[in-house]
């Protein structure tokens, strides 16, 4: 028989096994109508990405599910890929170019894109190789990229179809603008954070000189673009002023006072300045009152040239200058501190600038409704279920989606313009000719939001819009695994896209996980310097230990804390499994004895562990079907460590070591069967160590990952034997605990009496006598119906329907124990004499610090209590 190496060393096996799995094509899935499909599409990591703990958790969960389903006999496809990540990738490339003294404009679009593709070829595969290190069993033959030919074809198909249906349009609306990334971003990409700010209270004078209106603003620099002030139509304080004009401070422009329900009567002074170009609510007010839209900021948030005194100033620099001028000219009333919620770019964390811009939008009203209904009807469910609230919140309050980005890296918008006659054509073709004047048309320079292409991921990756076999067989997919922070970005967009373009939900379950935080509960970040590299953990402890740590004790949707101590515990568990397997293999019979044939006779102990295993199979399968991956992992751990290693292996050692025991074969068969089935259940969590052991202990199957998942069977439901052995275990535990409390060494054997007036219970202990010698340190086991012949000083352990007695004299050498206790009396007398002397010394009591005096008093009380106990024990022994 082959043997395992003496020591478990992950570095020696993990890369070797992963290469084997890939070479054998175990990860690959094909259309097979004889099997039921199970599909997961990987949330595509950015090509700029590097493996972090979030990726490790997300992909470990997916890998556990796909390995589980593969072993259950499904045609299991885990489809991997990467995302082009427009903003992040372009920013990195531009940054690299800046170091060379080159700009995008210096290169031009075509050469810049050549450089971007080179960058993708150089760095884009980094995270893929890192995903392989954690054991991801993806179908790498089907790896996709959001800008590959097939996905790009799907993007054009969707854009043109939605445009032709009137669901995509180009219009001038208020959008979120990032002055650092120099592009628009969608509402979902804005992160809000509380920032300390100010309320500047200002006076706007009435043009007729009859007074002024007072209002407050958090952004005085946008005053330059004010085109009105608004009051509530029901506000009696201002009804007489509606229709009059004000003279805009510093600018001199006349602006009207309008009445609009948007203004809250009770908020502040009840007057709001309206800047349609720089606030989404003001923009809507502007539309209702036909107000002009005046933009006062450049793309990088500097004041435009129309205001010479402030032109070129950064928005915050301009704010300071404008406030100073307002104060000088008597328009500033007061300044108050104010904490307010500010939108920032999710990529660079720069404060977002709302601004009016001509962009491409998707109408969301009609698309959102089916996506809401699909979850309400149960076509797609969230695990945990309460995350549907986040989903509904976004979809029920959704605004039209701004999909154009002022970037070059990405899917260029398939719209073309004729510069001569102004005609616009939207087409799937790469070029367009003007239908009016026949001239070559210019393509829109903007690209699509990255999420536009990743919204199509579950079906574009399977060949849509073509009618492929893969699309027909593997779609809709089954489980989407993702973090709760991605619900508005990605989950809801895939839902409405899948329903709109395929008529089906893209997945039946969304399994939500939380964040991996540091040991103090903080979010891992570069700024805090508290991030932990998963590859560093793998180098030190192995991928199996990292994976098991990320799953155990982790419930769906909950954040978890990362502790190195837990990784070490997971590595210790892998060691335990390894060493137990080595022990079993070392005791296996010589060649020629077939351990695949079930023995005719099994002992109670064999039936007990088989019954426990049988129940475990049922429970773990049920837990995994319900996505309770952490609970299943805990059960597997407890079974292997406690029931199998600490109990069953110890129970059968006497049988293994005896060549004449006619139950030895039954013990070996049971050891092998239980180990293999336990390895199978552990495999999705710890793929490497289980594969190495499985392929060493048996030759019938070439890999554990394509072996069959264990199933519950009534054949191994041994309730009576299970109860019997559990009673013996309880007795052994009681004996061990009692001996430990009395400090009895394991080498000290003692007679054990089991007393029960119940014949069935006596028979159980009679059959289990053998276990007491190895597990309960018993020199002899006597089973009887009453207490006859048992000394009154015997130590007892009370069980259900039985009492276990151990003669005190056999646990303790009375003469030696008296000698030891008398020495302890002498020692305690010395300690008490010292402490009593100190506390009786007036000099010590008057001069020593109170803390020191209290310490000595505590010692005195402790020694007195100890003396009392020792003397009591001595008296009992001398009797």
Which pLDDT does position 788 carry in this prediction?
Answer: 87
Distance of CA 330 to the CA centre of its chain: 56
* Average pLDDT of span 857-870: 87
pLDDT tens for residues 444-488?
Answer: 999 999 999 999 999 999 999 999 999 999 999 999 999 888 888
- The residues facing 354 across adjacent strands are 176
Contact 352, 402 (CB under 8 A): no
CA distance 338 to 326: 19
Other beta carbons within 10 Å of 394: 18
pLDDT tens for residues 626-673?
Answer: 999 999 999 999 999 999 999 999 999 988 888 888 899 999 999 999
* Average pLDDT of span 271-278: 94
Contact 131, 55 (CB under 8 A): yes
Q: Residue 257: pLDDT band by 50, 70, 90 thresholds? A: very high
Which pLDDT does position 195 carry in this prediction?
Answer: 81
pLDDT tens for residues 569-596?
Answer: 999 999 999 999 999 999 887 665 677 7
Please tell me whether 526 is known to bind a ligand: yes
Higher-pLDDT residue of 820, 77: 77
CA distance 710 to 157: 45
Alpha-carbon distances of 875 from 568, 814, 868, 870, rounded to whole Å:
48, 12, 11, 9
Closest by CA to 554, choosing from 521, 514, 522, is: 514
Closest by CA to 198, choosing from 43, 327, 105, 71, is: 327
Which pLDDT does position 593 carry in this prediction?
Answer: 65
Which of the residue ranges 234-248, 255-269, 792-806 would you say has the lowest mean pLDDT?
792-806
Higher-pLDDT residue of 868, 15: 15
Q: Residue 143, SS3?
A: coil
Which pLDDT does position 339 carry in this prediction?
Answer: 81
Contact 503, 495 (CB under 8 A): no
CA distance 806 to 767: 19
Which pLDDT does position 871 carry in this prediction?
Answer: 87
Which pLDDT does position 1 carry in this prediction?
Answer: 58
Which pLDDT does position 16 carry in this prediction?
Answer: 96
Q: Which helix (H) or strand (E) holds 59?
A: helix 53-71
Which pLDDT does position 568 carry in this prediction?
Answer: 96
Contact 576, 649 (CB under 8 A): no
Q: Residue 186: pLDDT band by 50, 70, 90 thresholds? A: confident
Q: What angle do CA 58, 64, 68 make, to 5 degrees?
A: 150
Which pLDDT does position 592 carry in this prediction?
Answer: 52
Taking all residues of the chain, what is their mean pLDDT, rounded to a whole number? 91
- Taken in order of first residue, the domains within the chain and their CATH numbers are 31-165+367-390+452-513 (3.40.50.620), 187-354 (3.90.740.10), 544-717 (1.10.730.10), 721-811 (3.30.2320), 814-878 (1.10.287)
Q: Which helix (H) or strand (E) holds 391?
A: helix 388-396
Higher-pLDDT residue of 29, 553: 29
* Average pLDDT of span 81-94: 90
Contact 349, 198 (CB under 8 A): no
Q: If you search the block for the tokens 């089973």, which residue do you land on?
A: 783
- Tokens representing 497 are 């896209």
Q: Residue 543, SS3?
A: helix
Higher-pLDDT residue of 745, 565: 565
Which pLDDT does position 525 carry in this prediction?
Answer: 77
pLDDT at 719 over 60: yes
pLDDT tens for residues 822-855?
Answer: 888 998 999 999 999 999 998 888 888 888 899 8
pLDDT at 787 over 60: yes
- Ranges of beta strands (E only) in 765-817 are 778-784, 795-799, 802-806
pLDDT tens for residues 728-737?
Answer: 989 888 888 8
Which pLDDT does position 811 carry in this prediction?
Answer: 78
């Amino acid at each position: 028989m082959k043997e395992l190496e003496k020591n478990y060393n992950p570095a020696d096996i993990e890369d070797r096994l992963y290469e084997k799995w890939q070479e054998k094509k175990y990860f690959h899935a094909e259309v097979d109508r004889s099997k039921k499909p199970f599909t997961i599409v990987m949330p595509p990591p950015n090509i700029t990405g590097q493996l972090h703990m979030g990726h490790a958790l997300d992909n470990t969960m997916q890998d556990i599910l796909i390995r589980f389903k593969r072993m259950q006999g499904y045609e299991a496809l885990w489809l991997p890929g990467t995302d082009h990540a427009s903003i992040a990738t372009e920013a990195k490339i531009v940054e690299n170019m800046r170091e060379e003294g080159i700009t995008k404009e210096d290169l031009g679009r075509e050469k810049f894109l050549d450089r971007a593709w080179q960058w993708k070829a150089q760095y884009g595969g980094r995270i893929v190789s890192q995903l392989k290190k954690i054991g991801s069993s993806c179908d790498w033959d089907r790896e996709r990229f959001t800008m590959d030919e097939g996905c790009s074809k799907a993007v054009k198909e969707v854009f043109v179809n939605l445009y032709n249906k009137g669901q995509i349009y180009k219009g001038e609306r208020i959008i979120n603008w990032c002055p650092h990334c120099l592009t628009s971003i969608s509402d979902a990409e804005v992160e809000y954070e509380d920032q300390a700010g100010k309320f500047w209270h200002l006076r706007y004078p009435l043009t007729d000189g009859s007074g002024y209106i007072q209002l407050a603003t958090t952004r005085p620099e946008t005053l330059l673009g004010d085109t009105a002030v608004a009051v509530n139509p029901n506000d009696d304080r201002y009804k007489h002023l509606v229709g009059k004009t004000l003279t805009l401070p510093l600018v001199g422009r006349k602006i009207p006072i309008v009445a609009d329900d948007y203004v809250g009567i009770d908020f502040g002074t009840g007057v709001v300045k309206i800047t349609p170009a720089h606030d989404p609510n003001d923009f809507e007010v502007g539309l209702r009152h036909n107000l002009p839209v005046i933009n006062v900021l450049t793309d990088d948030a500097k004041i435009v040239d129309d205001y010479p005194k402030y032109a070129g100033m950064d928005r915050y620099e301009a704010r300071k200058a404008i406030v100073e001028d307002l104060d000088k000219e008597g328009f500033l009333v007061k300044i108050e501190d104010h904490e307010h919620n500010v939108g920032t770019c999710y990529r660079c964390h720069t404060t977002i600038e709302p601004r009016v811009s001509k962009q491409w939008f998707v109408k969301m009203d009609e698309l959102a409704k089916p996506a809401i209904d699909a979850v309400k009807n149960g076509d797609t469910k969230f695990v945990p279920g309460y995350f549907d609230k986040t989903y509904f919140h976004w979809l029920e309050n959704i605004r039209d989606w701004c999909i154009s980005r002022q970037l070059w890296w990405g899917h260029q918008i398939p719209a073309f313009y004729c510069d001569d006659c102004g005609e616009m054509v939207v087409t799937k073709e790469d070029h367009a000719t003007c239908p009016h004047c026949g001239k070559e048309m210019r393509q829109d320079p903007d690209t699509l939001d990255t999420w536009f292409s990743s919204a199509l991921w579950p079906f574009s990756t399977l060949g849509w819009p073509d009618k492929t076999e893969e699309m027909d067989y593997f779609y809709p997919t089954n489980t989407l695994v993702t973090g709760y922070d991605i619900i508005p970005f990605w989950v809801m967009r895939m839902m409405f896209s899948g329903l709109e373009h395929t008529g089906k939900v893209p997945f039946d379950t969304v399994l939500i996980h939380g964040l991996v935080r540091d040991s103090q509960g903080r979010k891992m970040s570069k700024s805090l310097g508290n991030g932990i590299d998963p590859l560093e953990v793998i180098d030190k402890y192995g991928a199996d230990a990292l994976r098991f740590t990320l799953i155990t004790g982790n419930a769906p949707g909950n954040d978890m804390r990362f502790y190195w101590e837990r990784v070490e515990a997971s590595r210790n568990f892998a060691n335990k499994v390894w060493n137990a397997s080595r022990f079993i293999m070392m005791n296996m019979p010589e060649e020629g004895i077939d351990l695949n044939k079930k023995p005719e006779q099994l002992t109670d102990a064999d039936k007990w562990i088989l019954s426990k295993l049988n129940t475990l199979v049922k429970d773990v399968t049920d837990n995994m079907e319900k996505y309770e991956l952490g609970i299943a992992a805990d059960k597997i751990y407890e079974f292997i460590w406690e029931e199998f290693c600490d109990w069953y292996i110890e129970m059968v050692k006497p049988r293994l070591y005896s060549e004449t025991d006619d139950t030895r074969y039954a013990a070996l068969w049971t050891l092998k069967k239980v180990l293999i089935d336990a390895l199978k259940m552990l495999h999705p969590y710890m793929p490497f160590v289980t594969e190495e052991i499985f392929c060493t202990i048996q030759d019938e199957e070439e890999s554990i990952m394509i072996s069959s998942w264990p199933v519950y069977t009534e054949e191994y439901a041994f309730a009576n034997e299970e109860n019997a052995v559990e009673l013996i275990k309880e007795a052994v535990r009681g004996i061990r605990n009692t001996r430990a409390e009395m400090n009895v060494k394991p080498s000290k054997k003692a007679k054990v009496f089991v007393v029960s007036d119940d014949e069935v219970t006596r028979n159980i202990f009679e059959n289990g006598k053998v276990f007491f010698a190895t597990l309960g340190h018993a020199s002899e086991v006597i089973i009887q119906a009453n207490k006859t012949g048992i000394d009154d000083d015997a130590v007892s352990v009370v069980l259900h329907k039985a009492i276990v007695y151990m003669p005190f004299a056999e646990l303790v050498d009375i003469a030696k124990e008296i000698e030891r206790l008398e020495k302890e009396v002498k020692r305690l007398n010395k300690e008490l004499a010292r402490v009593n002397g100190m506390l009786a010394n007036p000099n010590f009591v008057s001069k020593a610090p109170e803390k020191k005096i209290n310490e000595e008093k505590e010692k005195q009380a402790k020694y007195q209590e100890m003396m009392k106990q020792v003397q009591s024990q001595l008296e009992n022994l001398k009797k």
